[in-house]
Amino acid sequence: MKAGSSLKIRVASDGDWTNIYQLIEDNMLQMQLELNLDWKRDSIVSHYQSKSVLVAELGQQVVGFIAFHLSENVLYIDSLQVVKTLQNRLLGYRLIKAMLGYLSAKQDIVSIRCCVFENNPAQKQYFAAGFKQLQRKDGILTLEADLESLLSKLGLIYIVTQFTQTTTADTPTAI
């Protein structure tokens, strides 16, 4: 991260969507085209606008985001994107941590699922964190991790427990 700049993670606002889309395009377009999958800007934006989204901001610049939704007792990470210059510097970890804190009141979460392109180098990080492959279809891997195991592996059990005990607001503006 840049010296002197502070990272802020907050709920996405309407004004963030141009930056969110650009980040998706910068990180995903080439991989998606390599797999011969369609790329439709409007569909992509409307898909993520229907999800809960937290953005990471450094200064006034959106440098990452995580889009997610909860269905029954499974938390789905719909997208986790970080600008290329900050990849492999724990920003993805911080976004996952913020998402878990944001959802900490929902204690019925049993597992976390996500999809990753088979040609995406980030899949190694998911496997290292304890995700297991459930399915491979059309170049997309569906991965899942047991929540307790993932929290333990990432060293987040204490953090999420503390957040649950000390937070009463449903929608924090910064994490």
pTM of the shown model: 0.80
**41, 50, 40, 59: which is closest to 12 by C-alpha?**
50
pLDDT over threshold 70, residue 66: yes
Exposure string of 117-127, with b = 16+ CB inside 10 Å and e = fewer, is beebebbebbe
Specify whether the CB–CB gap between 62 and 16 falls below 8 A.
yes
User: Residue 167: what pLDDT?
Assistant: 37
With a CB cutoff of 8 Å and minimum separation 6, the contacts of 10 are: 54, 55, 57, 172, 173, 174, 175
Query: What is the tens place of the pLDDT at every residue in 126-156?
Result: 898 889 999 999 888 999 999 888 888 877 7
pLDDT band at 162 (very low <50, low <70, confident <90, very high): very low
**20, 54, 35: which is closest to 140 by C-alpha?**
35
The torsion angles phi and psi of 112, rounded to 5 degrees, stand at -125, 135
pLDDT over threshold 50, residue 22: yes
Q: Where are the beta strands (DSSP E) in the chain?
A: 7-11, 52-58, 61-71, 74-82, 111-117, 132-137, 140-146
**109, 11, 97: which is closest to 51 by C-alpha?**
11
User: Residue 4: what pLDDT?
Assistant: 52
pLDDT band at 16 (very low <50, low <70, confident <90, very high): very high
Higher pLDDT, residue 28 or 159 = 28
Distance separating alpha carbons of residues 172 and 150, to the nearest angstrom: 23
User: Residue 107: what pLDDT?
Assistant: 64
Amino acid at 89: R
Query: What is the tens place of the pLDDT at every residue in 31-58?
Result: 888 877 788 888 888 888 899 999 999 9
What are 45's two structure tokens? 């934006």
User: Residue 56: what pLDDT?
Assistant: 96
Higher pLDDT, residue 3 or 111 = 111
pLDDT over threshold 50, residue 170: no
Distance separating alpha carbons of residues 24 and 105, to the nearest angstrom: 29
pLDDT over threshold 80, residue 102: yes
pLDDT over threshold 50, residue 117: yes
